[in-house]
Amino acid sequence: MSTTGHHIHRPLRFLVGAMLPALMLVGCATTEEADPATGPPEAPQQLMPPQSDEQAETTEGVPIAELADAEWVEETASDNAIPRRAMAAYAGAALRMAETHPECNMGWNTLAGVGSVESAHASIGGAGLDADGVAQPAIIGPVLDGSEGVMAIEDTDNGELDSDDEWDRAVGPMQFLPETWERYAVDGNRDGETNPQQIDDAVLTAAVYLCDSSEDLTVDDDWVRAVTTYNQSMAYARDVAARAVSFEAAELDS
């Protein structure tokens, strides 16, 4: 997913058809013109969902989609036009991180902001989440073959995750490179496997990655550092921040 050491994440942002409107790949894939009039964004308020009564004692061993209050998930998903299954993952990941990485202060709205930009909450290109929370059809980014606008990243997984044994491609709703997935993958739905196309696994892995890149997401510099490690573009950080703030505003208005 981004650069920690030599690990690099490339998000999915297409130019074609019904896909998202811009191609912005992290690292040195593109160059971004400095905009002196537009500085880095402020950290959005990090929102924490209410926990399910059934899971009030501990989240250990529980799939993250079951952690947040079901009525709250339904209402918040509707208020923000987020698919309910994706909303349950964002909320559950925030609650799990509150136990495992409390110092990070991960909010569900930051995860939703990333998921919105990366894959429109797993709906990009006609995709959707099935009953198991798996993106169908699989979400796979453009070939990173060094053509115009993208870096050249030779295959690292023998095509196991991205069906390409020559070049790497970012995969899943949160758009991980295979090498980064291998390093950070977390089993969010507790099925004994890690699948970048499965929304709980993908979102919780993104949360762990973001928190590994920063100390406290309520601090402006730390939040920007985390998000620009996920994707090395200040424009990307501003986009994620704007969406996270819009989710915050919807919650405050509800």
DSSP state string for the chain: ---BTTB--------STTS-S----TTTTS-----TTS-PPPPPP---PPBPGGGSS--TTS-GGGTB-HHHHHHHHHHHT--HHHHHHHHHHHHHHHHH-GGG---HHHHHHHHHHHHTTTTGGG-EE-TTSBEES--B----BS-TTS-B-B-SSTTTTTS-SSB---BTTTTB-HHHHHHH---SS-SS---TTBHHHHHHHHHHHHHHT-S-TTSHHHHHHHHHHHSS-HHHHHHHHHHHHHHHHHHHH-
pLDDT at 56: 62
Question: pLDDT at residue 8 above 60?
Answer: no
The Cα 18–Cα 44 span in angstroms is 29
Mean pLDDT for all residues in the chain: 85
Report the percentage of the chain scoring pLDDT > 70: 82
Higher pLDDT, 193 or 166: 193
Q: What is the pLDDT of residues 63-77, one digit of tens each?
A: 999 999 999 999 999
For the question of whether the overall pTM of this predicted structure is more than 0.75, the answer is yes
Tell me if 139 sits within 8 A of 100, measured CB to CB: no
Question: Domains of the chain: which residue ranges?
Answer: 53-253
Confidence class for position 185, pLDDT limits 50, 70, 90: very high
Report the percentage of the chain scoring pLDDT > 90: 71
pLDDT at 110: 98
Question: pLDDT at residue 32 above 60?
Answer: no
Q: What is the pLDDT of residues 114-127, one digit of tens each?
A: 999 999 999 999 99
Structure token pair of residue 97: 């991180």
Q: What is the pLDDT of residues 122-179, one digit of tens each?
A: 999 999 999 999 999 999 999 999 988 778 999 899 988 998 898 999 999 999 999 9
pLDDT at 177: 94
125-157 CB burial, b ≥16 within 10 A, e <16? bebebeeebbbeeebbbbbbeeeeebbebebbb
